[in-house]
Structure 1
Amino acid sequence: MPMEHVDGQDKGKVVLYALSTCGWCKKTRMLLEDLEAEYDYIYVDLLKGNERAEVIEDLKKWNPRLSFPTIVLNDEECIVGFDEDKVRENLE
């Protein structure tokens, strides 16, 4: 998957599925950066063809509604939508 990486403190594996045009996705990225978390993100709307289909299939396992933002933590837990309290609880 074509992920973008953001350096920070290792707080476990953090993957953000987002849309490049989504204000809540941007707020989520800003929150992750405020928490100085290392994370990977992918803008699903910028993908094409097979790559996009593959990422959407992967995302469906975590969030069948395919809403954004979706954060997957350590391949175990999923936070759907902008949920500052839940993100802080898991990463602080």
Structure 2
Amino acid sequence: MSDRKKIVLFALSTCPACKKTKNLLKELGVDAVVVDLDTIDKETREKLLIEVRRFNPRETFPTLVINGGEKVIVGYGEEEIRSALS
């Protein structure tokens, strides 16, 4: 499909808002790349945090990146996420 969106979720495994976002993506049937930054090695985490800062300089989670930054949603906003992915 040409209209398929590329979705990346930067999250923390212990973050309640991140868990809600993951559950919503699952409910919506969205095929997303989910990166729990607190579960990966330090070197990889540091590299990925540079990427997170490009989209969210405050480094707060969850950070949902749609189509390479065409749309970025920081935090859990159910309606905003539903709208962006519809």
Question: Does TM, normalized by the shorter one, top 0.5?
Answer: yes
1:55 matched to 2:67? The reply is no
Deviation at 1:59, TM superposition (A): 0.2
Q: In the aligned structure 1, how far is the partner of 2:51 from the partner of 2:82?
A: 24
Letter in 2 for 1:37: V
Q: TM-score, normalised by structure 2?
A: 0.90
Q: Which residue of 1 aligns with 2:78?
A: 84
Listed one character per residue, the Cα deviations across residues 19-78 of structure 1 (whole Å, up to 9, x for unaligned) are 000111000001001111111110011122221110000000000000000000001211
Q: TM-score, normalised by structure 1?
A: 0.85
Summarize the Cα distance change of 1:11–1:35 in structure 2 as closer, same or farther, 3 Å threshold. farther
Identity of aligned residues (%): 40
For these two proteins, the number of residue pairs brought into alignment is: 83
Deviation beyond 3 Å, 4+ runs, structure 1: none
Task: List runs of 5+ in structure 1 lacking aligned partners.
Answer: 1-9
Q: Which residue of 2 aligns with 1:21?
A: 14
Task: List runs of 5+ in structure 2 lacking aligned partners.
Answer: none
Letter in 2 for 1:87: I
